[in-house]
Structure 1
Amino acid sequence: MNAPLRFHPRVPGTSHADLVQPDGVDPSLYNDPAIFEAELDKIFYKTWIWVAHESELREPGDFKTATIGRQPVIVVRDRSGKINVLENRCRHRGATVCEKHKGNATGFTCPYHSWSYGLDGKLRALPYPDGYTDLIEKSDLPLKSLRVGSYAGMVFASFNQEVQPLEEFLGGARHWMDLFMKQGAGYPIKTMGEHKFKFDGNWKIQLENTTDGYHFPVVHKTFMQSVDEETSEMLSFMTDEASVTRALGNGHSVMVMVPEHVDFDQDDGSEQLQARFADTIAELSRDFPPEQVRRIVRSLHGAGFNLNLFPNVAMSMSFFRVLRPISVTETEIRHVALGMDGGPEVANRERMRIHEHFQGPFGFGSPDDAEAWERVQAGSYAGRDVPILVNRGLNRETVEPNGDRMSHSTDETGMREAYDMWKRMMSNDE
């Protein structure tokens, strides 16, 4: 007989730790403003947050702006080639010094009083300096720097200067990050464009979604009806025993949907290339040998898995999905399309069309997901003593020799891993 639910409803004075139990979480995690404020302080301002991909910062002066929690930052490559993440806040009166999302600059100047900063954040100049004689030293007032780390081209930052080393934080996810980057078919990965949207729901609802295979044939039924039979068969993982979800530690998880596309270096030659790519194959064959054409075409859909990196980015098949918590009931999502850096343009065009079909602004995936997320948010206000269940697959979850907890791709192993990390971080200094 299966174990009964162990969830207990929230009572006044309940600690954050008590809100997460092995089989369910309290609905207040989605709708309590006080919990949201605590999450910003204890999670988003304490751990590693993804802010950029190195392909977005190729040359000295290349920058992008980002937001960690509510705090605006600038990610910029300086003249020495170092990537800096700087608080986007003038040290004088607090105005942002950069409003463009991306670009190239020689420095950043506050539009309010013209204090100017270098790419390394140092205060270079300020107007009418006689008013500050014997009051300040420019060297004492740089744009504040965050701690920065990079792995597999993924750039992370943290306000916490004592945060654990990035590679330690990523842990078992590093193996999957390396596999994900193989979709370049011998070329590095680059970002090719992005779009953003907001949904009326809590950030954790989206976090749960990335390794939730259970919803795919239900929510994305119209998408499955819109694709060719080969693509539909490739994504029909509900009954495939090789399709699994793994908990990787520190809140990270991976859901394998297309096992034969997990490692593109492995190809036994049995997979038939899809007929829909016949024109692309013909064009590629003019410039590449058959084995390279095959590798490029096999990777057009991206990696065969979704990798969730706690708390804010998913490396999902052929795109990055980046979440930004705005309020307890509002979240911004960015979908960043990926291509082959230096690879054949015909293949990158095909990758973009595939991205547009599902995750693009007029695609099937994003609107269907967003509606489901908003319904979860609305429902969280009903039955406040009824848990949000995350117990699917507990009866068949196993522990691998490397410590990964594993179950089927339709199980909620990834969600339980994320909430384990949430519980650990939210319990610190409570």
Structure 2
Amino acid sequence: MKETYVACEPGKTKVSPEIAALVENRKPGHALDAPFYISPEVFEADMKLIYGQHWIYVAVESEIPEPGDYITVDIHRNSVVVVRDDDNAIKAFHNVCRHRGSRLCNEHKGSVGNIVCPYHQWTYDLEGKLLFAEHMGDDFDRSRNGLKSVHLQNLGGLLFICLADSPPADFDEFKAAMEPYILPHQISKTKVAAQIDIVEECNWKLTIENNRECYHCAANHPELTASIFEYGFGYQASPSNQAMLESYDQLVLERSKDWEGGYGLPSIEIEHLDGRITGFRTQRLPLDQHGESETLDAKIASKKLLGDFTRADLGALSLWTQPNSWHHFMSDHIVTFQVFPLSAERTMVRTTWLVHQDAVEGVDYNLDNLTAVWNATNNQDRHLVEISQKGIHSDAYVPGTYSPYTEIYVEKFCRWYIERLTALINA
């Protein structure tokens, strides 16, 4: 079947002079102007130029383990169905019937033999071919009415889609850099232990900015900082923390040599959060206390380790992608996060916990223990971004200065965002 794509062409996307001026006049090293967080018009531009033109993380492949399993993902007005076909290949299609536009799959996840429109029963196979369309006449060509494909990439079990007609070509570079880090965790041999969606009453960029720094962690995240060192997330030496940061850097160096030399686990930082289309950062970092996992006591949450691991204290591999995800890979489980804008001031955050496919709840892991740290952290972060959103509405708001010691990755996210808007507005 000839694949077809729905285009979101940057050259045809017009923005108002006001938005163009906001983008052009953004002051480096400072937070964004208020309209970036509250304007419906800026939100529409974000959906067309950021979420509509870049690789968006949507799922892990273990969410659809068997042929016929599917999930649906909503990105603003676009619904996409991601399905595993009969040959175990994973495909993505616009979740729209080619007849009169009915949504095809109306649940978040499920399993089907074929994809059947609930309106008039047009039937598509798992490769998107139209198999059945009754009462359409002899001149009707089924081969020209298959489902519209969506570009999909699989990065070691992490699934990304792009709605654009021509997706960014640098994904292959991202994949080549990241697969050696991710593949040892063997996502394809995991299962979903829990998945929780929360809605934050804030702009999506505040959600991402909050994730890109740990300046706030010690004061707000007692559960998370029981296991993680906040210094691993953008801290630079300052007069107040230089000695402690030097000690931490030495710990990172020693553990990285151990993980890389003894276990073949890449650990050093790769940081491309700005200056490229598909921005990302990764690093394997040591954990505090027992150093095993992101739990309240920093011990493993699941006795069944991932992949071929025989050792629990392998730190936590962190991966961030622009514009919508972050991930934590440990020896015993993985926690992965997606950010989906709902409106200018509402954002959905989906958190998924993965364990080994053979791990048994109540035997190998306790679900409350597995999810305790990030359930608490997500709720704390929700409060922080929501009070930020409220404050930005004030007439007194002016973009504040980012800390050069703790918020460099926030600045890199904003720089990437402005770079991408500028490039696509001017395309």
TM bucket normalised to smaller: 0.7 to 0.9
- Does residue 330 (structure 1) correspond to residue 346 (structure 2)? The answer is yes
Question: Which residue is 1:22 aligned to?
Answer: 28
Give the partner amino acid of 2:46.
E
Alpha carbons of 1:154 and 1:236: their partners in 2 closer, same or farther (altered >3 Å)? closer
Question: Which residue is 1:304 aligned to?
Answer: 316
CA distance in 2, matches of 1:148, 1:278: 36
- Does residue 52 (structure 1) correspond to residue 59 (structure 2)? The answer is yes
Q: Secondary structure at the match of 1:21?
A: coil
Q: Secondary structure at the match of 1:113?
A: coil
**Deviation, structure 1 residue 338:** 1.6
- Does residue 101 (structure 1) correspond to residue 108 (structure 2)? The answer is yes
1:368-407 correspondence to structure 2 within 5 Å: 368-383=380-395, 386-389=398-401, 391-393=402-404
- Deviation string 1:281-311 (CA, Å, 9 cap, x unpaired) is 9x88xx9xxx965x1x325xxx525321111
- Does residue 418 (structure 1) correspond to residue 424 (structure 2)? The answer is no
Alpha carbons of 1:94 and 1:309: their partners in 2 closer, same or farther (altered >3 Å)? same
Question: Which residue is 2:356 aligned to?
Answer: 340
Alpha carbons of 1:189 and 1:252: their partners in 2 closer, same or farther (altered >3 Å)? farther
- Does residue 145 (structure 1) correspond to residue 139 (structure 2)? The answer is no
Give the partner amino acid of 2:374.
Q
8 Å CA contact 2:61, 2:188 repeated in 1: no
**Deviation, structure 1 residue 328:** 0.4
Q: Secondary structure at the match of 1:201?
A: coil
Give the partner amino acid of 1:378.
K
8 Å CA contact 2:229, 2:287 repeated in 1: no
Question: Which residue is 2:245 aligned to?
Answer: 240
Q: 2:164 aligns with which of 160, 167, 171?
A: 160
Question: Which residue is 2:238 aligned to?
Answer: none
8 Å CA contact 1:187, 1:343 repeated in 2: no
Alpha carbons of 1:14 and 1:75: their partners in 2 closer, same or farther (altered >3 Å)? closer
CA distance in 1, matches of 2:374, 2:114: 35
TM-score of the two chains, using structure 2 as the length reference: 0.75
Query: How many correspondences in the alignment?
Result: 367
Q: 1:122 aligns with which of 117, 129, 135?
A: 129
8 Å CA contact 1:253, 1:414 repeated in 2: no
Q: Secondary structure at the match of 2:409?
A: helix
Give the partner amino acid of 2:92.
V
8 Å CA contact 1:171, 1:248 repeated in 2: no
CA distance in 1, matches of 2:152, 2:104: 20
CA distance in 1, matches of 2:286, 2:398: 40
CA distance in 1, matches of 2:413, 2:214: 15
Question: Which residue is 2:261 aligned to?
Answer: none
Q: Which runs of 5+ in 2 are unaligned?
A: 1-16, 236-243, 253-268
CA distance in 1, matches of 2:282, 2:220: 17
Give the partner amino acid of 1:248.
H
CA distance in 2, matches of 1:45, 1:383: 32
Alpha carbons of 1:149 and 1:233: their partners in 2 closer, same or farther (altered >3 Å)? closer
Alpha carbons of 1:341 and 1:19: their partners in 2 closer, same or farther (altered >3 Å)? farther
- Does residue 83 (structure 1) correspond to residue 90 (structure 2)? The answer is yes
Q: 2:279 aligns with which of 246, 252, 266?
A: 252
**Deviation, structure 1 residue 417:** 2.1
CA distance in 2, matches of 1:45, 1:373: 24
Alpha carbons of 1:13 and 1:60: their partners in 2 closer, same or farther (altered >3 Å)? closer
- Deviation string 1:376-402 (CA, Å, 9 cap, x unpaired) is 11111114661144x322xxxxxxxxx
8 Å CA contact 1:71, 1:87 repeated in 2: yes
1:279-290 correspondence to structure 2 within 5 Å: none
Q: Secondary structure at the match of 2:337?
A: strand
Q: Secondary structure at the match of 2:245?
A: coil
Alpha carbons of 1:348 and 1:159: their partners in 2 closer, same or farther (altered >3 Å)? farther
Q: Which moved more, 1:16-25 or 1:31-40?
A: 16-25
- Deviation string 1:294-334 (CA, Å, 9 cap, x unpaired) is x1x325xxx52532111112113531111111100011111
Give the partner amino acid of 1:18.
E
**Deviation, structure 1 residue 217:** 0.9
Q: How much is the aligned-residue C-alpha RMSD, in angstroms?
A: 3.5
Give the partner amino acid of 1:413.
I
Question: Which residue is 1:356 aligned to?
Answer: 371
Alpha carbons of 1:90 and 1:14: their partners in 2 closer, same or farther (altered >3 Å)? closer
Question: Which residue is 1:265 aligned to?
Answer: none
Question: Which residue is 1:179 aligned to?
Answer: 181
Q: Which runs of 5+ in 1 are unaligned?
A: 1-10, 225-230, 263-269, 394-407
